[in-house]
Chains A and B, each alone.
Chain A
Amino acid sequence: MALDSSKTTGFKYVGTRPDRPDGFDKVTGRAKFGADATAPGMLFAAIKRSPHAHARILRIDTTKALAMEGVKAVVTRADFATGLTGENWNILENVMAGDTALYDGHAVAAVAATSALSARDAMKAIEVEYEILPHVTDVDKAMEPGAPVIRTGAADASVPEGLHPNVVRYHKSGHGDVEAGFAEADLVIEDHFVTEATHQGYIEPHACLGTLGADGKGELWCCTQGHWNVQKVCAALLGLETSQLRVTASEIGGGFGGKTTVFIEPVALALSRKANRPVKLVMTRAEVFKASGPTSSTSMDVRIGMKTDGTITAAEGVFRLQGGAFPGAPMEFTAMCAFAPYDLKHVRQVGYDVLTNRPKQAAYRAPGSPMAAFAVESVIDELCKKLDLDPIDTRLKNASHEGTRASFGPKWPRIGLVETLEAAKAHPHYTAPLAPGQGRGISCGFWFNHGGETSVSLAMSEDGSAQIMVGTPDIGGSRASMALMAAEVLGIPYENIRCTIADTASLGYNEISHGSRVTYASGLATIKAAEAAVEELCARAAAKWGIPEDAVYWEDGCAKPSGPNAGDFEPLPIAEITATMGATGGPINGHFEATPEGAGVSFATHIVDAEVDRETGSTKVVRYTVVQDAGKAVHPTYVEGQFQGGAAQGIGWALNEEYIYGEDGRLQNAGFLDYRIPVASDLPMIDTVIVEVPNPGHPFGVRGVGETSICPPLAAIANAVSAAAGVRMRQLPMRPSRILEALDSAADG
C-alpha cells in the first residue's frame, strides 16, 4: 500500500517560519554566486557587440586582437554548431550573430585572455565592418506596411494572410458573440493602452565559468534558473553529447524569468574549447540591459460593456507585443490572462507576436499577464467610475469561480479569486480615509502556474538525519520549503534535513525553476520521495519485529505497530532504524520522478494608495496591500517575500522603468542610473494577506506564488494615480513628464 500523506490541515512543520539553510552563508559573504567561482589557469572573456540596431556583418578581423599580449582565443559564429533548427537555431543566432546583427548589443565575436582588462582591450581591437540596414524598434511601427522586414519567413502557420512579415505568431480565442454582448450593455468603453519594455533587473549579472576539452567533455558553473536546460542547449549549440557536459548551478542573484535561457554560457565553452583553458565570462550591467532578455513592450486595445448593475456583458481585447528580433513574445498569455478573472458570456481576445530590432525577450514573472491586467482593469475601473459602482463589488459580481468557463476555454476547477476579493474588501486599507491629493486603486490579476519535469532524491544518513537533492535552483528560499515538506512526512525536525541543489550529473532531469513551479512540483516530488523512504523505514521495522509490513505505520519520526493485533512493540525511532540500515538491507533512500500536472492557478487582488504631486508630476505610493491565494503557504515568510517583491517590481514598471530607444535604434539608458528601479526610499511597507484555498493537485494544497504578485500592480497603481490626478493614465510608465502632460491636456480639454 503506497503511503499517502496528503492533508490540508494539522501540519506540524509546514506553515512554520524557520531560518533558511543558506542564510548564514549569505549574511557572511561566503555564498558563491555566478561570478564568485575561479579555476586554476582561468582566462577571462569579453564579448564584442554590435553598436547598430540592424546591420549586415561584412567582415570581422581578429588579427590585431589575437596579436595582443595574453590573448588566447577568439570565437565567432564559425565556432558553433551548424544545421540547427527551431528554438536552438534562434538561441544560437541570439548568442552569436550570423550574417546580420539584429539589435544594439547583439554579440558578434568574443575573446579570452589572461586578465579581464586584457580581454576588454582585445575585444575593442576586434574590427567589424557593417552595412547598416533600416531598423524598427516600435511594435506598432513594425506592423505597418513598408516597415523594414527583420527576417523573412519567420512567421508560423498561425498568422493569417495579409499581415506584415514581422508578425510571426497570432492567437485568437474566446467564446460567445461579442457584438451581441455589447448590444446588451448600458455602457461600453473602449480604450488604447501602451506599456514599455522593462527588465527583470536582477542585481547579479549573468556569469559563468566553463571548461571544455577537445574530447567533448565539459564542466560549467553558472547562475541560472535551470541548469538541465543550460546543459541541453549548450550541448546543441556546441555539437556535444548532452551527458558529457556537467552543469552546476551557482547561488543565483535573482532571475525572475530572465535566467531561464542562455546568453553567454555557450560562448565561454567555445572559447575554452579553443584555448584549452577554463574561461570565465561575466556580463557588465550595460550588457545585461542590451543583450539579455527584457520583457515585451505592448500596444493594446480593450473594449468592455457593462450594465448599470455592474454585470459585464462582453469583453474584447487586441494585444500586440514585440519580443525583439525573434519569435516568442508571450502574447498568447497576455490574451489568455486578460479576462481570466471574469465569468463572461461573450469574450474575444487576439494576440500578435511582432519582431523588432531589439534583444530577444525572455520571461519576466508571469510573462505577458501584467500588461493585460493593466489594460483590462483600467477599463473596468473607468466603467465603475462612470456607473458609480464599487470596484470590489463589481469584480465580485463578475468573478470567475469553480465551474464557470474561463475566457480561454475550459471550466475552472477550485480557484480562490472570490476569496481574495472578499479579503481585500474586509481589509482596513480598503475603507481607510484618503488624504487630499491621494487616490486609491484596486486590481485583480491571474497567472496559470506550472508543473513540469521533476526529479528529487532523498537519502537517509546513519544518524537519522536526511539529505534531499532537488534540481530546481533556489530562487526564493525553496530549500527551506523542501526541508519543511520532507520534515512533515518524515516526522523529524526541520533542522535535521539538508536540501541541496544537485548538479546535472547527480540527479535526473529537471525543468527550469519557472512558472512558479518549484514549491509545487519539486515540493510534490520531495513529499513522494520522503514517502518512499518512510515505506522502507516501516519495512525495516516490520522485519525487525517479525510482523507484516502493513501492520506498521509511521508517526512522529517513529515506526509503530498499527494496533494491538500487530504486537506489543515500543515505537522504533528513525535513528535506530538508520543506525543499522547497512546490515538490514542497505542504504535507505527515496526518490521520485514525474511530470506533475496538477499545478493550481492563482489569483490576487491588490489595493494601493498613490499621491500625485501636481506641480512636479511625481507619484508616491503611500500604502500597498497584496492579497493573494497561495493554496498553502509552506513557509509564510517567504510567501510574503514573494508578494512584496512582485508588488515592488510592479511599482517600478508602473512608475519609472522603461527601455528608451533613440531614433538610431540604440538603447539610451543601459544602466541603473537611467533605468531606475525602485529604491528603499521610494516605497512604503507592503502589507500582505495570504489566502489559502488548497490546490487539489498537490498533497498539501500548494499553488505557485512567485509570479501572480506582479500581475495586479500595474493596473492597481494606474487606477490609483488616475483617481489622484483626476485623469485616466493609459501609458506606462507614468513618469512625471507623462503625468504633467496628462494634467495639461485634461486642463485644456
Chain B
Amino acid sequence: MSKLHVTTKVNGDTVEFLCDPRETLLDVLRDRLGLTGAKEGCGTGDCGACSVTVDGRLVCSCLMLGAEAEGKEIATVEGIAEGGALHPLQKKFIEYAALQCGICTPGILVAAKNLLEKTPDPTEEQVRYWLAGNLCRCTGYDKIIRAVMDTAAEMREAS
C-alpha cells in the first residue's frame, strides 16, 4: 500500500512524515517521529495514556489517524516544559508524588494542562470528571487531584 505524505506541526516545530493510511497519530508520534512520551495503554480510546492536543483540543491520539494530522498543530507531553523550566503542573506532580509508575503521567499532564487553560479555578469535582478518561492504576488519584488543584491555585495567584 502506498504511503501518504503529511505535513504538520508538533510542539511548534514543522514536521513531515510518510505514513500508512491505517497508522494512528499515536503510531506516527512514537514510531515515525521518535516522540515516545505519549503511551499506548489500550489503543481503543479508554485509558487516556495517549492524550495530546490537536489545535488545542484534547484527543486520544490512538483514535485519530496519522493522515488526519495534515495542517494541524499537535502538542504532546514533550512540549509542556519550556526549555529546562518545568511547567507548574510538572513541578507539582513531582512534589506531590502524583505519579508512581508514571505511565499515565504524560496523558494526565496533557489533559490537566488543557483543563487549566480553559478552567483556571476548577472544583475538585470538575478535575475528577475532566480526568475521568485518564486511567491511573497506581495512585488511587488522590495525589493527582491534589496536585492539579494546588497548581491551579498557584497559577491563579501568579497571574
Contacts and interface: CB of A to CB of B under 8 A. Distances in A.
Q: Within 8 Å by CB, do A and B touch in the complex?
A: yes
Interface of A: 17, 19-20, 22-24, 26-33, 35-36, 115-117, 200-205, 251-256, 282, 284-285, 475-477, 637-638, 640-641, 644-645, 647-649, 671-673, 677-683, 685-686
B52 to A, nearest CB: 11
Given A29-B77, A115-B20, A647-B140, A475 B44 contact: no
A649 B81 CA distance: 32
B37 A29 contact: yes
Interface string B26-63: 01001100011111111110110100000000000000
B90 A27 contact: yes
B103 A254 contact: yes
Contacts of A637: 96-97, 143
A682 B96 CA distance: 21
Q: Is the interface of B mostly helix, strand, loop or mixed?
A: loop
A201 B103 CA distance: 12
B23 A117 contact: yes
A383 to B, nearest CB: 30
Given A477-B100, A638-B97, A27 B131 contact: no
A648 B144 CA distance: 13
Given A28-B90, A672-B44, A679-B132, A685 B137 contact: no
B102 A31 contact: yes
A22 B42 contact: no
Contact of B101 (A254, A644, A672, A673): A254
Contacts of A28: 37, 77-78, 80-81, 86, 90
Interface string B2-42: 00000000000000000010110001001100011111111
B99 interface: yes
B67 interface: no
Interface residues of B, number: 60
Contacts of B95: 19
A23 B23 contact: no
A116 B47 contact: no
Given A27-B90, A32-B36, A202 B102 contact: no
B42 A681 contact: no
B47 A203 contact: yes
Contacts of B104: 203, 253
Contact of A251 (B37, B102, B125): B102
A32 B102 CA distance: 10
Given A26-B105, A29-B35, A117-B20, A254 B133 contact: no
A514 B84 CA distance: 36
Contacts of A282: 40
Contact of B49 (A200, A203, A671, A677): A203
A638 B125 CA distance: 25
16 contacts: A23-B99, A26-B105, A27-B81, A27-B99, A28-B78, A29-B37, A33-B36, A285-B46, A644-B143, A648-B140, A648-B141, A672-B42, A672-B44, A672-B135, A681-B131, A686-B140
